[in-house]
Amino acid sequence: MDQTAFFVAFFAALFAIANPIGNLPFFIMYTKDASSTRIRQAIAILLGPVIFATIVLCMFFGSSVLSFFGISLPAFQIAGAIILVTIAMSMISGTHTEQVHAATSSEHATTPWKAAEAYIPTILVPLVIPIYVGAATITVSVLYGHQAVANGCLIGAIGVVAVICLMIVLCNLSSDPIMRVLGPQGLEIVVRVFGIILLGIAVQMFAEGAGDMVATFIHTNMSATAAGT
């Protein structure tokens, strides 16, 4: 595969999985309690480097970290699915009331950037992991990271990640006008609807992870049986 085809394939795969447009409602949901537009914009901007660093780390160390702890990608996928199921059910029931007023109050943060920095840890899970960076993102990052090293185009691959993260930032910066159009009731409806969608995503993730684990188990047993005979 030449470098141009590699970059196009990596961009397409990462864009489809990170889904900057499709994940915008989740960013809106997790930042709707921010006390001002400027704080929300600062959060959108700061999330970009956080997601970028997470994906780049996955490119280099994702499989090694999971292997060190004895965690397979299917198991990680199932764990992410369980987290998403919990969140989706709270979204659908209307009890998803995660608040971060302490992070955005004036006594804890004197500037929007300080407030945003305090806000980020409260939404790291599940907004960054596993919504933006889940098992599929780790898999794609590890796969294309290895290919980038082999093809001598690692800097270009990191550039692709940077472009995707920039698109995420730009999409998230558009959240304010969308929130103004929706209003509180419209936003609540969107949250519940996307709770159903998120539940579907979680079930799909769980099914794929469980299927991969079963397939690996069967393959391992068949290999052991063949080796014994």
The tens digit of pLDDT for each residue in 151-204 reads 889 899 999 999 999 999 999 999 888 878 877 778 778 778 877 877 887 888
pTM of the full predicted structure?
0.74
pLDDT at 32: 78
> Which of these, 125, 151, 179, lies nearest to 6 by C-alpha position?
151
pLDDT at 1: 61
Q: What is the mean pLDDT of residues 95-119?
A: 61
Q: How far is Cα 223 from Cα 157, in angstroms, rounded to an integer?
A: 36
pLDDT at 100: 40
Residue-wise pLDDT tens digits, 6-15: 899 899 889 9
Q: How many domains does the chain have?
A: 1
228 or 24: which leads in pLDDT: 24
Structure tokens at 56: 């780049």
Whether pLDDT at 53 is above 80: yes
In our burial notation (b when 16+ CB lie closer than 10 A, e otherwise), range 81-113 reads bebbbebbeebbeeebeeebeebbeeeebeebe
In the block, residue with structure tokens 């090293």: 149
Q: How far is Cα 24 from Cα 28, in angstroms, rounded to an integer?
A: 6
Q: What is the extent of the structural domain holding 95? A: 3-228
Find all residues with CB under 8 Å of 37, minimum gap 6, and list them.
176
In the block, residue with structure tokens 């995707």: 164
Q: How far is Cα 97 from Cα 207, in angstroms, rounded to an integer?
A: 28
Whether pLDDT at 106 is above 50: no
